[in-house]
Structure formats: C-alpha cells, structure tokens
Structure 1
C-alpha cells in the first residue's frame, strides 16, 4: 500500500511538472507527541477532532508553497497544511472549494475541517486524511466523476466564486460576472497579462494578449456556457486514487466557469481517450470545442510564466499569435 498526497506546485520546466508522492516518511521512526503549547492544530484535534491522544506527527515533504504534516490519533489520522507567511485567506479559499466539491457527492475530495491562524504568524488547514492505493489510472472513472461534478454543481450568481483564491501562489480573481467571455477575458487572461507587464515589463505579450481578449466572441458561436463548479488547477499532481482505485482530486483553485476550462492543464494532466469518452458521455462536447482548447491552456501558461519565468513565455505567445491569425484581428 502506498500512501500519498500531491501538492499544487509546478516546477520551472517546459514540460509537465513531476508527480510528487511525498508520504515517504520513515515508518520505523518512533511516534512523537506535540509538545508545543498554544498550538491551535493540536487543540482542535484534541477537542473538535474528538481525539484523546496524538500518537504520531510525521512531516510530509514535497510541497513548494506550504508545509504538510500527518497527525495520527486514536480517532484516526488528519492531514494538516501550514504556511508561515500567508494569513488564513488562502486556506479559506481552498476549504470553500473543497467543501463545494465534497457536497456534490460525485468525485472524492478530502473533507476540510478547520482553517485558522498560527500564533507565530501564518495559517493552517486541517482536513481529512485519505489513504491512497497503488496508482491505478482509471481514466474512465475520472472523466465520468468529473463530469458528474460539473453537471451537479451550477451557480445562479453567474461566473466566479464566493471568495478570491489562488492558482499556485498567484491571486485568482473571482468577482461574479454574468457573462463568461467577459469574465475570462478580464479575470483570467487580463489579470495574468497585467502581471506579466508589471513583473517583466512585457508590453508585447500584454498588447497582443489584450487584443485577443477583446475578440473572443467568435470562438463561442452557438455555444451555451453554464457556470459549472471547476476544480480549477487539475494537473497530474492534483489527481490520485484511493485504496479502492477511485479517483481523488486535491488542492483546488475552485470557481464557477465554463466546463471546458477544466481541461486547461491537460498538457500535464495525462488525460487520454478513455477520459474524454467517459466525460462527454455525461457532458456532451459543444461546437468548436477543439478550437477553444488552447484558449484555456493559455491561462495556465501565462500563470507559469508569471510564477517561474521566461521558459513558458514562448508557449503563451505562440497560442496568442495563432488565435490572432485565426480570428484575423
């Protein structure tokens, strides 16, 4: 049995970031008990978590944004992420996303329990610990259950989310809008293009990208876009399987958006034919799907450019230029 947790963390590479399975702690190491006083994580576990004893605390490696720990107790195990620099708003957004997906009863996600501030600064989130099995890439189940989540969870408020959250460590603006094209142009492409200009002085990608963002309408001809609940950052490191072989998705950047935007990280998610066949049996593909695929990839390439540097610029620029030629604008 392999136990694993994956983190939303992409390394600076032109290729797909590596899949991380960081629960490789030494199982022969004697368990330790938290000795820190005024520890809100320990206090919650021993009260609302219904544990009377913490039998082991094991650090979990592999994250590049947050630290992670497994707490073993007589009431079961808990998974805890901490960040010593960022306040609870980041984890609050994650918890709201996890809970929204959890409540659909479709695909499995870790149930969030508690978000709070650390007394020494920073924040934490406590969630369900899921024991994972040896990787069984059940692409059909993943596609079907993801489509069931998209079909089950819609928003009457339009496109956006209850709070802003993060995509990696980049802010993700989720102010509600009634029009998807406007939302995607402003809060997704526009925000990333603005960051690129501010960080790198990249006026070329900004101007060309904004020109594209103003001319997206032809790509959505005869398309009905409903605000579906999206994981938002679905790459291979955020997809795994439980001990029964059922898919589990982790570390979301949730919002309500066009279901096709969920495939924006497909360049490093490993979605295959079985995945798409099962998905489209539940959520049929709409006209022009293939033409829009790179549009949703662009958002993530821009984010990688802003997070990791110029190695991703050419990918983003190529997509922008291809669409400008296609649309003749």
Structure 2
C-alpha cells in the first residue's frame, strides 16, 4: 500500500492502516483487507483510478437503507476509493447455507418499489447499467436490459450486426414468454457465487451489487447461470415466495439469463454472445 493511499485512508477513518492483504473480486478496482495500528476491526478498501466507486457505495447504501440484506457498511466513499466493513465469509455453499440465502433473498424481494428501475443509473461489474424508472417491466427489460446491453456488446465488437438483429427480433416478441409481475421488487442485481459469502451453515453477507427494482425471477435466473444455488435454495425460496405459474425453469429462466450473457459478452468477449444466440435458437 503506497503512502498516498495510506494517508487517504487515515484521513477518512481516523485510523492508521498497517497492512493490506489482497481479496478476490474487484471488476471495478483493486480490493484489499486493511489492518490497523489500533488492533481493531479490519476494513475493506476498494481502489479504482478509473472511477465508478461512488456508484458502488450508493448501491450498498440503498441495500443498507431499504432492506435487511447483509451487505458491507459504507465507511467512506468517493469515485476512486471505497472503504467498507469487512465481512468474514468463505467456503462452500452447502444445503443449509443455501436455505439461509433463500431466506435473505426472499426478504429482499419483498421490498417493493414504485417503478421498475431506480432513482439513478448504476453499474453491473464495470459496465454502465441504465435504470430509468419505468411503469411496465416488459418495457424496462426489453429496452434497458436486452437492447441496451446488446448495443454495448455491438459497440465493443463482441456482437455482430446479424446477432444484434436476432436479439432485436426476439426482444419484439417478449410478450410471448414473460408476463408483468405484480409489483417492482428490490434486487441485488448480480447474484452469483463470487458475490455470496457463506460461513458454515449461514450466509455472512452479499457483496458487489448491481441494484435496481425489477422482477425477482431475473435474480433467480442469474443465480442458476453459474450454478450458484441449487435445489435447497429454490425449495426454500418457493416456501417464502411461491413462483408464478407457467414454467419458470422451463422457459422464463432462459429468457432472463440473456441479460447476464450479454453483460459478459460486452465485458469479456464474443464467446458469451454465442451462448446468447444458442438460447434464442432454443426459444424461437
């Protein structure tokens, strides 16, 4: 840790950092666990020369203010430095931890909003995520998730114009696959294993959100894309918040996972776009 960063941390927290150990993650910036001269509780620092951390701090604050989801407390934040409480969580997501996660996520999804979107735009990983407050979910998902992220992937060379046209044709038919939910629900927005911190049979916390109000099923779908949660999670979640009829796992899950696939295409390359095309081929 360089002297300038150490001084910024000391000025922000009134504590002298004595060490910084790397932590995993950090699409936006470097993440370290801080130790302090006073021997007290450690903290986490995220540093990003390119900015974006003020938005991450805002998203954590939204979850802290509006929900019971265990996420880091923001100690200090500006665009290039975010200081947070440290959550000690690691290890496998066993069946008991998955059931505990389901309890947390169901409570989060019970938080209602007045519109789909959010009061301001946010980030998903390193990418801009637009959140204009929108009355209808299908309009929001079509325009500000599928179409928007397809355009980002196209601009970055991860999507061909022909693939973008196929996404456009599919987006025009969303009403065949999706219905309007009863109300907007608060979402973590980036629910995969790297952002879930288990500790034994419980969940210590959730990190790196991409917050907005949406349909809970898009969150649940993302939680299956990389095998984050399995049967214990979904059985417990269904007890707390029963799924809508019509075959979520058979159809709607694949529709909703088009968005994270396009996010990954925009961030990591065209291989992810091909997975999205395979999904569209199955659905059309």
CA distance in 2: counterparts of 1:37 and 1:247, whole angstroms = 28
Structure 1: where are the runs of 5+ without partners?
Answer: 1-31, 118-122
Post-superposition shift, 1:197? Answer: 2.7
Cα 1:58–1:294, aligned 2, differ >3 Å: closer, same or farther?
same
**TM-score by structure 1 length?**
0.77
Among candidates 3, 7, 13, match of residue 45 of structure 1: 13
CA distance in 1: counterparts of 2:58 and 2:5, whole angstroms = 29
In the TM superposition, 1:145-164 aligns within 5 A as 145-151=104-110, 153-156=111-114, 158-164=115-121
**Partner in structure 1 of residue 279 of structure 2:** 319
Post-superposition shift, 1:79? Answer: 0.5
**Partner in structure 2 of residue 300 of structure 1:** 260
In the TM superposition, 1:67-216 aligns within 5 A as 67-73=30-36, 74=38, 75-86=40-51, 90-104=52-66, 106-117=68-79, 123-132=80-89, 134-135=91-92, 137=94, 138-151=97-110, 153-156=111-114, 158-200=115-157, 202-216=160-174
**Partner in structure 2 of residue 284 of structure 1:** 242
Q: Deviations over 1:127-177 (max 9, x none)?
A: 1111225445311111121011111x2112x01112212212121111111
Q: Deviations over 1:164-203 (max 9, x none)?
A: 1221212111111111000000000001121233233611
> 8 Å contact 2:6–2:17 — kept in the other structure?
no
Structure 2: where are the runs of 5+ without partners?
Answer: none
CA distance in 2: counterparts of 1:275 and 1:69, whole angstroms = 30
RMSD, matched Cα: 2.3
The answer to which structure has the higher helix fraction is 2
Post-superposition shift, 1:113? Answer: 2.1
> 8 Å contact 1:208–1:321 — kept in the other structure?
no
**Partner in structure 2 of residue 14 of structure 1:** none
> 8 Å contact 2:122–2:130 — kept in the other structure?
yes
> 8 Å contact 1:107–1:247 — kept in the other structure?
no
> 8 Å contact 1:263–1:296 — kept in the other structure?
no
**Partner in structure 1 of residue 184 of structure 2:** 227
**TM-score by structure 2 length?**
0.88
Among candidates 227, 239, 256, match of residue 196 of structure 2: 239
CA distance in 2: counterparts of 1:128 and 1:303, whole angstroms = 28
Aligned pair count?
A: 276
- Are positions 1:271 and 2:239 aligned together? no
> 8 Å contact 2:89–2:204 — kept in the other structure?
no
Cα 1:72–1:244, aligned 2, differ >3 Å: closer, same or farther?
farther
Secondary structure at the residue paired with 2:208? coil
Kindly name which structure, 1 or 2, has the bigger radius of gyration based on alpha carbons.
1
